[in-house]
Amino acid sequence: MSEKQIFTSGERSFAFAVEGTGPALVLVADRGSDLDGLGTISHLVSAADFRVVRIETDTAQDVVDVLDGLDIEHAWIGGHGSGGVVARTVAIENHDRVNGVLLLGVDDGAPALAEGIPVLVVQATDDDVTPPANGTALRDSAPGLVSVVEIEGGGHRFPETRAGETAWAIEDYLDWD
């Protein structure tokens, strides 16, 4: 797995890690989580010749700053829990740089979807923080744009406890294998 680095943007500093080469997928950690929670998914997806960037932040501008710093022009932007709120904000504010949005659970109170950008929701069937009903409601609000894949069990930490199944769902949807 890749080593944690520190990115400084103005007066803010935050952790990030990069693994692999090829098309980019950015994953924003859930509030209160660190990069390690998304480490196994990152490793599995990057093994398919893709560049996975994990970021610990709660602002869309930090994501854009990392993209700029790494010379990434276009990426799928995703996040776990509250990290998905950040991902959705990046898509709205930087529409031309976002190929799609990956939500690992759908957080309540997230902004609207960016127009015309595909969304993959991967959610655990027993997640009580970002319940599966949130993802189903999002899909129902934008049929044809939002796809939902459910992972049996795993709770809210399913990206850690069901990392293989989660990575497979991502790769299968994006046809990266």
Residues 125-136: pLDDT tens digits? 999 999 999 999
Give the number of domains in the chain. 1
Cα(76)–Cα(118) distance, integer angstroms: 10
- Beta-bridged to residue 120, according to DSSP, are 102, 147
Range of the domain at 96: 5-174
pLDDT at 108 over 90: no
| One-letter identity of residue 171 | E
d(CA 116, CA 107): 20
Instruction: Provide the 10 A C-beta neighbour count for residue 70.
Output: 15
CB 58 within 8 A of CB 31: yes
- Give whole-number Cα distances, 109 to 12, 15, 89, 112, in Å: 25, 25, 12, 9
24-63: per-residue pLDDT in tens?
999 999 998 888 899 999 999 988 788 999 999 999 999 9
Q: What tens digit of pLDDT does each residue of 148-164 get?
A: 999 999 999 999 999 99
Among 2-6, 53-57, 96-100, the range scoring the smallest mean pLDDT is 2-6
Residue 122: per-residue pLDDT:
98
User: Domain containing 134 — which CATH number?
Assistant: 3.40.50.1820
Q: Give me the sheet containing 119-124, strands edge to edge.
A: 5-9, 12-19, 51-55, 24-28, 75-80, 98-104, 119-124, 146-151
Task: Could you list the beta-strand ranges (E) of 41-145.
Answer: 51-55, 75-80, 98-104, 119-124
Query: Sign of torsion, CA 38 41 43 45?
Result: negative
